[in-house]
Chains A and B, each alone.
Chain A
């Protein structure tokens, strides 16, 4: 084929990246040819976002090289990447919400300087919006903060495909369709095919497998920071793709003990949109579905409904384990012990004064129970690895008297060993009669649950009990209405 003669737009060879003890990329080799769409799939945390960051110049691999057009680039960075036409649509919002669409276009395109840049920028972005999403109805003078989430995503996609002097050659789309409805997603995928047909390259990341299968020429499957499969899209189908991602192989790794809980008393009820939500004593309830489809909102609503915003309850019904440790989990400047005891200070104090002896005793007790790996609980929380920090947050929640524990995808970025230990603690505590409401983006964790609510578009669309809790059913429910 002629493609063999062509030089790769970007070629990453043997990239290794590690963040502390976590190996995010373990020797990844990937080359992107002109005129092809590469589908990149893998579970949460497989290293997709890391390789994307290496390709767009935001991250320099500790080992390995980046080459472009057959030329090895030793000092590769964002500016060089952009100069070579590498564009990226990120998972999270990467526009400035306080600026208008036109002004954001100015930020994205350095070339757009000089007098009258507003008119030029407006032309550039409107042309691209019209090409990708005909009939979009978005006014380019509006501030991005005033747009709906879908509109923001449309603008971001159009921004990546827009041309203000340096034509886009490689566009990386990281979960671009997550907040688009079916017809908008269709428009975008059609545009990807047109772009590829005209000689451009696309790296397409999505959890919606049929989109990957029908849009890509070649599919790269990643797992644990490595490329585990790389074949033309025609050789994959839905089942084989899931198999290659490696989630079927370890089916027996986590066995859920069947428990009969239908008779247990109900501890929590909530009428959200869709099916009603109930939690029984001693139950582990999973909140599943695609990330960002309303699971966290339900947890927050449950917490808000059970707590008073003026004065803390004496005996709180619920407690919360945060998912984003850095953002709303740990107190970075505090010791491990203080981080642990903050939620149960009410129990540990008399007359408004904390009894430090009791605090230390309880800390030592929990340190042993969940094996926090530290010599001294008075060390700073940041001296612990991420997994151990998460254990401290678990201990914080478990040490309270609250019978219901809300968990907001707390295992993000935690190593496998720690996960197993925490799963065991959860099982033990559930056996003692505590209820867990657990939002997780990982299938393995959802399958540990006694009952699972599946979310779709901020609504509970399905409830799975007992043996129905399996990957096939969850995926089927998560994609309900989209696959059709």
Chain B
């Protein structure tokens, strides 16, 4: 009886498995990666992606999709490299305002019954435009504390791994353990029933989008901490990476079925897939296609798993 895993635990199995396989493959190709320094180099770019993935996951938890996340992270990176360094107060205010705008978008999407894809796609141009206004050419500089945070060398484990674990734990606490997280996932699962229980759907959606904005801001700051300077197009590919990360991590597009731990693993897996292909000496022209192939294989595995699980559930 006790051996039967819940469907949530099954959901984590595939992402964990695929990350392990990729990690093993990378180590086999390049044994020198198996060190403190090597692991950090391998995984540090996964930290901002993991944060962006958590942000995307929060939006997906209420059955929406955020296509502006890449542009938004770029915008935040530009703010971080300029205002947050030169005038911390104004910079902080701008970022807080941006989070507020995110929450507002969530409310507008719900109230006007608009498709989230269209609204966020529109917003992506707004964020991209603002970013270009701030930094027409690549430049700026990371604030010292951000730089310190991203390059600190904790004992035992490199920063990339510590940060990933912290992100996973914090997101897990918010999304899976807290009342607010339950409410947000409830909206994704059965909005009518949450409404009938007397909750404000507007507040729940605003909270989901606001939290997403918060994690996306963290992603932008973390990214500048790694790159030391910013560019208006620095994170455009995060939009698709974050969606892929959520799905890879066992989340689903609808139904409020998400997993924060899975999402972080998904982000790590995507980063590893990039390094793996480089170690294989596949030319960058083919890498995106090969990355897509890896994604398809993992998702196909999951479909097979789901099918097996369903067959097992029906007596």
Contact = CB atoms under 8 A, between A and B. Distances in A.
Nearest to A57: B198
Interface of B: 6-8, 177, 179, 182-183, 185-186, 188-190, 192-199, 255-257, 313
A79 B198 CA distance: 5
A58 B188 contact: no
Interface stretch (A101-109, A274-282, A416-424, A431-439): A101-109
Interface in A92-119: 93-99, 103-104, 106-108, 110, 112-113, 117-118
Given A56-B196, A146-B7, A107 B255 contact: no
A443 interface: no
Contacts of A96: 185-186, 189-190, 193-194, 256
A103 B197 contact: no
Interface of A: 56, 58, 78-79, 82, 88, 90, 93-99, 103-104, 106-108, 110, 112-113, 117-118, 141-143, 145-146
B255 A98 contact: yes
B185 A58 contact: no
Contact of B179 (A79, A88, A95, A117): A117
Contacts of A90: 196
A143 B313 CA distance: 14
B189 A82 contact: no
A106 B188 contact: no
A106 B183 CA distance: 8
A107 B195 contact: no
B6 A143 contact: yes
A258 to B, nearest CB: 44
B186 A107 contact: yes
Given A79-B198, A88-B196, A97 B190 contact: yes
A34 B6 CA distance: 42
A98 B177 CA distance: 14
Contact of B185 (A88, A95, A98, A117): A98
Contacts of B188: 98
Given A96-B185, A103-B186, 20 more contacts: A78-B198, A82-B197, A88-B196, A94-B196, A95-B193, A96-B186, A96-B190, A96-B194, A97-B189, A97-B255, A98-B256, A99-B182, A99-B186, A106-B182, A107-B194, A107-B197, A117-B179, A118-B177, A143-B6, A143-B7
Contacts of A88: 196
A98 B182 contact: no
A93 B255 CA distance: 14
Contacts of B177: 118
Contacts of B6: 141-143, 146
A96 B190 CA distance: 5
The 8 A-B residue pairs whose C-beta atoms are closest, nearest first, are: A96-B189, A98-B189, A94-B193, A79-B198, A96-B190, A98-B256, A96-B186, A103-B182
A110 B198 CA distance: 8
A94 B257 contact: no
Nearest to A96: B189
Contacts of B186: 96, 99, 103-104, 107
Contacts of A56: 196
A90 B197 CA distance: 12
The residue in A90, A97, A99, A142 that gathers the most chain B C-beta atoms within 10 A of its C-beta is: A99
Given A58-B196, A88-B196, A94 B190 contact: yes
Given A96-B189, A97-B255, A78 B182 contact: no
A104 B183 CA distance: 9
Contact of B199 (A97, A98, A104, A107): A107
